[in-house]
C-alpha cells in the first residue's frame, strides 16, 4: 500500500476520533449520561435499549464507538502493508487501538461510578491524547509520502535566522503546555458546573466562580504567550509558521470569547457544545504550530545534509 492511499485511512480514523468527542459531549449536555445505567449492556434486561430518549442518545454514542474502533483497527492493520515500511506509523496506529480500548474501559468506569467528575475528566483528557496521536499519524504519513531517496537542501538561512527559529520553537512548546493547562482547568469547570450528564451525578465541591476564574486566568496566560510568539514571528521569514500561528490565534481568541459568552449567559447547551468542540481544535492547532516550527528549525539545522530514506 502506498502512503498516499494510507493517508485516507488515517484521516478516517482522525475524523471518527473527533466526532466521538462531539457526540460524547452531547450525551452529557442532554442529560443522557445515565440513559444506560449498566455497562457494557445498557441495563440488566437489554443489551441495546432505545426505549427512552436518554437511553437512545447514550446507546447511539456507544454504537458509534464501534465505528471508531473499526477505523483504528483498520489503520493499524493497513500500517503493516505500507511500503516503504514505517515503524513510526505502525507504532502510532497501534497506540490508537490501545487508546480506544482504554476509552471503552474508562467509559464503563464513568457509568459505573455514576458519572463521577474525575472519571469524566479522564475520559475527555484521554480523548485529547488520542487526537494527538492521530495528528502525529497524519504527520508521519505525509512525511513518508513526500520523502524521496535523496534530497539535498541548499543553505537558505543565516545564523541569526536559525537562532530566531529556535526561540520560536521553544516558545511554541511553552504555548502548548499553557494550552494543555487551560484544557485541564476547563474540565474542572465542567466537573463543577451544571452539565453533569444527569441531575443526580456528583460534582466537585468547589465554587464555580473560583474555578471559572482559574480557567480564565489560564486562558489569558495562553493568549499572552501567543501574542509574544506573534511578535517574535514578525522577525522570521517563514510564512508557513506565521500562517499556522494565525490559525491558532484565531481559534484561541474565538474559544476564549465563546467561553466568556457562555459563562455570562448561564452556560446554554449549544454554546457549551461549541466550546468543547473548539477546545479540541485549539489543541490540534497548537500541536500543528509546534510541528511546523520544529520542521523549520530542523530544516535550518540540516541545510547541508542530504536526507536518505530506506526503500
CA-to-CA distance for 301 and 170, rounded, in angstroms?
15
Residue 311 has pLDDT above 60, yes or no: no
Q: Which three cell numbers stand for residue 287?
A: 500541536
Query: Domain residue spans in the chain?
Result: 1-148, 158-306
Higher per-residue pLDDT: 107 or 155: 107
Q: Scanning the structure block, which residue is given the C-alpha cell 474501559?
A: 105
* Beta carbons of 82 and 89 less than 8 angstroms apart: yes
Q: What is the pLDDT of residue 42?
A: 80
Q: Of 68-72, 131-135, 171-175, 307-311, where does mean pLDDT reach its minimum?
A: 307-311
Q: What is the pLDDT of residue 234?
A: 84
As a whole number, the mean pLDDT across the chain is 85
1-148: CATH class: mainly alpha
Tell me if the bond preceding 246 is cis, omega within 30° of 0: no
Q: Scanning the structure block, which residue is given the C-alpha cell 432505545?
A: 50
CA-to-CA distance for 249 and 179, rounded, in angstroms?
12
Q: What is the pLDDT of residue 162?
A: 55
**Per-residue pLDDT reduced to its tens digit, 127-178:** 999 999 999 999 999 988 776 443 333 344 444 445 567 888 899 999 999 9
> Average pLDDT in the 51-65 region?
86
Higher per-residue pLDDT: 261 or 162: 261
**Per-residue pLDDT reduced to its tens digit, 231-246:** 988 877 778 899 999 9
Q: What is the pLDDT of residue 249?
A: 94
Q: Of 5-14, 61-70, 71-80, 142-151, where does mean pLDDT reach its minimum?
A: 142-151
Residue 199 has pLDDT above 80, yes or no: no
Q: Which residues contact 236 (CB under 8 A, 6 or more apart)?
A: 161, 164, 165, 168, 242
Residue 96 has pLDDT above 90, yes or no: yes
Q: What is the pLDDT of residue 173?
A: 94
pLDDT tier at 309, thresholds 50, 70, 90: very low
Q: Of 16-20, 22-26, 201-205, 302-306, where does mean pLDDT reach its minimum?
A: 302-306
> Average pLDDT in the 287-302 region?
78
Name, of 57-71, 86-100, 286-300, the range with top average pLDDT.
86-100
CA-to-CA distance for 277 and 19, rounded, in angstroms?
9
Say what percent of the chain tops pLDDT 70.
90
* Beta carbons of 189 and 212 less than 8 angstroms apart: yes
Amino acid at each position: 500500500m502506498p502512503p498516499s492511499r494510507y493517508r485516507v485511512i488515517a484521516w478516517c480514523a482522525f475524523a471518527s476520533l473527533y466526532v466521538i468527542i462531539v457526540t460524547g459531549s452531547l450525551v452529557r449536555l442532554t442529560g443522557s449520561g445515565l440513559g444506560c445505567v449498566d455497562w457494557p449492556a445498557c441495563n440488566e434486561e437489554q443489551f441495546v435499549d432505545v426505549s427512552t430518549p436518554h437511553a437512545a442518545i447514550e446507546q447511539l454514542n456507544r454504537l458509534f464507538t464501534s465505528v471508531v474502533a473499526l477505523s483504528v483497527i483498520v489503520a493499524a492493520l493497513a500500517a503493516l502493508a505500507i511500503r516503504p515500511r514505517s515503524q513510526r506509523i505502525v507504532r502510532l496506529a497501534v497506540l490508537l487501538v490501545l487508546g480506544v480500548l482504554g476509552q471503552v474501559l474508562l467509559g464503563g468506569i464513568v457509568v459505573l461510578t455514576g458519572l463521577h467528575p474525575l472519571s469524566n475528566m479522564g475520559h475527555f483528557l484521554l480523548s485529547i491524547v488520542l487526537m494527538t496521536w492521530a495528528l502525529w499519524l497524519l504527520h508521519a504519513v505525509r512525511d513518508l509520502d513526500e520523502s524521496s531517496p535523496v534530497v539535498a537542501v541548499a543553505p537558505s538561512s543565516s545564523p541569526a535566522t536559525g537562532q530566531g527559529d529556535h526561540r520560536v520553537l521553544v516558545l511554541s512548546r511553552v504555548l502548548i503546555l499553557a494550552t494543555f493547562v487551560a484544557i485541564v482547568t476547563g474540565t474542572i469547570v465542567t466537573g463543577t458546573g451544571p452539565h453533569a450528564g444527569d441531575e443526580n451525578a456528583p460534582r466537585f465541591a468547589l465554587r464555580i466562580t473560583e474555578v471559572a476564574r482559574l480557567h480564565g486566568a489560564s486562558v489569558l496566560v495562553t493568549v499572552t504567550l501567543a501574542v509574544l510568539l506573534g511578535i517574535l514571528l514578525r522577525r522570521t521569514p517563514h510564512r508557513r509558521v506565521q500562517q499556522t500561528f494565525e490559525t491558532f490565534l484565531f481559534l484561541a481568541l474565538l474559544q476564549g470569547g465563546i467561553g466568556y459568552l457562555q459563562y455570562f449567559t448561564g452556560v446554554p447547551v449549544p454554546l457549551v457544545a461549541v466550546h468543547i468542540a473548539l477546545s479540541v481544535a485549539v489543541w490540534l492547532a497548537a500541536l500543528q504550530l509546534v510541528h511546523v516550527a520544529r520542521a523549520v528549525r530542523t530544516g535550518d539545522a540540516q541545510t547541508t545534509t542530504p536526507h536518505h530514506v530506506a526503500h
